[in-house]
Amino acid sequence: MATVTIEEAQAKLPQLVEDLRPGEEVLITKGGQPLAHLTIAGRTAWPCKAGCYRKAEFWMAPDFDAPLDDFKE
């Protein structure tokens, strides 16, 4: 767990938050004593809903489900 002083946290708070990854914590101290833990909040919603991808441009070979030569008897 990373540790920063309250002064460092005030000066670099946007960067500290941007660098945090899920499950990581930053301990903020004042006078050498723990003051606060900085963590990333959990998601409240997924960024998209299932089935919302509108630009589905997938190509499948015509012989996709044809038997493979390796398995012919």
Domains of the chain, first to last: 1-40 (3.40.1620)
pLDDT of residue 13: 94
Burial class (CB in 10 A: 0-12, 13-18, 19+), 38: middle
**Each residue's pLDDT tens digit, 39-59:** 988 777 777 777 777 776 778
pLDDT of residue 5: 95
Region 7-13 average pLDDT:
95
**Each residue's pLDDT tens digit, 12-46:** 999 999 999 888 999 999 999 999 999 988 777 77
